[in-house]
Amino acid sequence: MVIGKRIAALAAMAVVSAALSATSAAEDLHIASRGTIATAASEKQYHLRMHHLHTGEDIDIVYRVGNTYIPEALDQLNYFLRDHRTEDVSSYDPKEFDVLYALMARLGRPNGVIDIICGYRTPESNNFLRSLGPDTGVAEHSQHTLAKAIDIRVPGVSTRSLRNAALALHAGGVGFYPVSQFVHVDVGPVRTWSFR
């Protein structure tokens, strides 16, 4: 009988000890997560707002905090910039998003919306556009097929001003399309061109 009481008492102490350990672990986790949130909040956030002119979709997203790209945000951006003709998705070079961010900052519109004319293009889509004739200005080996280029407009900013701001970044290729009123920005080799 005494042994039974002693076993019951030990079991009760074990339950209390386990409960205290679980509470302590939960408190430690809560403190750690608060520290992570505080650290993340103190680091610079890289934010983009875009509207896709072909799909009608919008995205408003923080894609990078400090030096860390957010994988889920990159996935959303990759889907948003998919080939709208085929629905194929590729993995964008994250530096392309940094170029867009820097461009909007240079224009003094960090919270402005970027209109997307064209994001990723499959090689098949690229060849289709080239087959429409020389007036398209589509390159045979386009950076769009590598998910390293985007054609853009910024409402309220002239195409020339947008081109000049992109050129000032020296971050890759900048194409000026004044008739179609858009600017091509990519993270390929630094170069520039105008089409018509």
Q: What is the CATH number of the domain that holds 67?
A: 3.30.1380
| Residues 185 and 143 occupy one common structural domain | yes
| Residues 74 and 110 occupy one common structural domain | yes
| Residues 101 and 162 occupy one common structural domain | yes
| Residues 66 and 149 occupy one common structural domain | yes
| Residues 111 and 176 occupy one common structural domain | yes
Average of pLDDT values for 162-183? 95
Q: Write down the pLDDT at residue 26.
A: 45
Convert the pLDDT of each residue in 24-83 to its tens digit: 444 544 444 444 444 555 899 999 999 999 999 999 999 999 999 999 999 999 999 999
Convert the pLDDT of each residue in 135-157 to its tens digit: 666 665 678 889 999 999 999 99
| Residues 115 and 130 occupy one common structural domain | yes
- Asked whether residue 19 carries a pLDDT value surpassing 50, the answer given is no
End-to-end alpha carbon distance in the chain: 99
| Residues 57 and 113 occupy one common structural domain | yes
Confidence of residue 17 (pLDDT cuts 50, 70, 90): very low
| Residues 20 and 112 occupy one common structural domain | no
The pTM is what? Answer: 0.75
Residue 96 domain boundaries: 45-194
How many Cβ atoms are within 10 Å of 35's Cβ, its own excluded?
10
| Residues 83 and 54 occupy one common structural domain | yes
| Residues 171 and 82 occupy one common structural domain | yes
Angstrom distance (rounded) from CA 54 to CA 87: 12
